[in-house]
Amino acid sequence: MELLQTNYLQGSIEVPADKSIAHRSIMFGALAEGKTKIRNFLRAQDCLSTLQAFKELGVPIYDDGKTITVTGVGVEGLTPSKQRIHVGNSGTTMRLLLGILAGTSFETMLVGDVSLNNRPMQRVMSPLKQMGAIVSGKNDNEFPPMKIKGNVKLSPIEYYMPVASAQVKSAILFAALHAKGWTKIIEKEPSRNHTEEMITQFGGKIQTDGKVIWLYGPQSLKGQEVIIPGDISSAAFFLVAGATVANSEIVLKNVGINPTRTGIIDVMKQMGANLEITDKDLINQSASLTIKSSCLQAVTIKGAMIPRLIDELPLIALLATQAQGTTIIKDAQELKVKETNRIDATAYELQKMGADIQATQDGLIIQGKTALHGAKVSSHGDHRIGMMLQIAALISRESVDLENPEAIAISYPNFFKDIKQIVKRK
């Protein structure tokens, strides 16, 4: 499809609900006692895969179009699915569900789409096996479909995280809720903490001290009301667009500003972006963000910053093409095992549009400022790569054709509609 072009951008957007919290709201609701009401749920393919998975595990879930009501059954109330559970493209669903199913008394088979079935699961399998679950992939390797046989007598573990991964950490924590004794997790770098926060929100107890997390199990949870803020990963596309397209101003309302997720804001400010935060809601950790066209400078992004913006790195690479100087992104090996190898895909597609960008073993090197031109590009079946290329098309002001645009619906079904809303012609 031919991507949208513009002279400048102006308007107000309310971005979709936070995908990470949406997944977890269903999971915690299913494991809690009583009813959980979820408002502003993200009805995108990935999150609907999580919702459907728990229906297949016997959890009553009702959606009236505005509020989703989950009647919790606890891990002991989950029932075997009559068929393989298909989780589509959602790595979050598969990895976190493995942690939850580790404490059941039955066997479950989880399968993904072609992309997910090529993503490694060993990093989740290893700690869950240590806790007593039996987990195996296709042909006894680390790739889905995944077969897991739960163990109602899981053992607690002390686990040193080999990579900074909120998904792996969350899988262990879900299993730890049903293991007798102290589970201790030592993170390599702090990763997004939605699971820890929601354990507390649902009445559980968890202790954190820097990179160390302790949880004593087993624990029971209580149903809650969850209001999901806007996803900063979705807002990031508009932040980059507003900063890089001349004569632009965009207001983004109700955006989640959990500190473990706001690396994109910190980096953009460091680069000199004209970005303002207002209307802060400290209870729901949300705010309004106003972004205006900016003069940007190159930066180096590495270490502890990477987990706080891992999903936004392809966008930051695009942003760097419009900044003066050499931007270096490193310590980002995790990008290689996303929906596609995002390091290589980002470099390959932006090079087509004239960017001076090189892939490295653990990141990217980008020379700016460069003028982007039209090209025929591909999402590689990856929603974030596809959306990043639409923002690149706005910057280039030349015709850009995108292959596989349908991948974008995985996390942001109304993305093109929202872009069209702020596109302006002189």
SS3 49: helix
Catalytic entry in 18, 231, 311, 382: 311
Q: Tell me what pLDDT residue 282 has.
A: 82
Percent of the chain with pLDDT over 90: 90
Q: What is the mean pLDDT of the chain?
A: 95
Q: Binding site: which residues?
A: 19-20, 24, 91, 119, 165, 167, 311, 338, 342, 384
Residue 334 has pLDDT above 90, yes or no: no
Give residue-wise pLDDT tens across range 380-417: 999 999 999 999 999 997 899 999 999 998 889 899 99
Strand partners of residue 112: none
Per the CB < 8 A criterion, the answer to whether 334 and 361 are in contact is no
Q: Which residue has the higher pLDDT, 340 or 215?
A: 215
Q: Tell me what pLDDT residue 387 has.
A: 97
Give residue-wise pLDDT tens across range 77-134: 999 999 999 999 999 999 999 999 999 999 999 999 998 999 889 999 999 999 999 9
Q: Which of 170-174, 203-207, 296-300, 306-310 shows the lowest per-residue confidence on average (mean pLDDT)?
A: 306-310
Name which of 116, 117, 27 is nearest 73 in CA terms: 27
* C-alpha distances in Å from residue 353, one per residue of 50, 105, 322, 393, 397: 36, 53, 13, 9, 11
Residue 200 has pLDDT above 80, yes or no: yes
Residue 2 has pLDDT above 90, yes or no: yes
Mean pLDDT confidence for 281-305: 93
The token pair that represents 334 in the structure block: 């995790």
Q: Which residue has the higher pLDDT, 34 or 368?
A: 34
Q: Sorting pLDDT into bands at 50, 70 and 90, what band is 335? A: confident
Give residue-wise pLDDT tens across range 248-260: 999 999 999 999 8
β strands within 50-206, DSSP E: 61-63, 67-72, 85-86, 107-111, 134-136, 146-149, 158-160, 181-186
Q: Tell me what pLDDT residue 426 has.
A: 65
Q: Sorting pLDDT into bands at 50, 70 and 90, what band is 338? A: confident
The token pair that represents 424 in the structure block: 């302006």
Give residue-wise pLDDT tens across range 178-187: 999 999 999 9
Dihedral through CA 149, CA 154, CA 155, CA 158, nearest 10?
Answer: 70
Structural domains of the chain, with CATH: 8-16+229-424 (3.65.10.10), 19-227 (3.65.10.10)
Active site residue 311: yes
Q: Tell me what pLDDT residue 274 has.
A: 98
Give residue-wise pLDDT tens across range 141-173: 889 999 999 999 999 999 999 988 999 999 999
Residue 132's identity, in one-letter code, is: G
Q: Sorting pLDDT into bands at 50, 70 and 90, what band is 425? A: confident
Give residue-wise pLDDT tens across range 9-57: 999 999 999 999 999 999 999 999 999 999 999 999 999 999 999 999 9
Dihedral through CA 195, CA 336, CA 273, CA 285, nearest 10?
Answer: -10
Residue 267 has pLDDT above 80, yes or no: yes
Q: Sorting pLDDT into bands at 50, 70 and 90, what band is 284? A: confident
Q: Sorting pLDDT into bands at 50, 70 and 90, what band is 69? A: very high
Could you check whether the bond before residue 369 is cis, i.e. omega within 30 degrees of 0?
A: yes
Q: Tell me what pLDDT residue 336 has.
A: 83
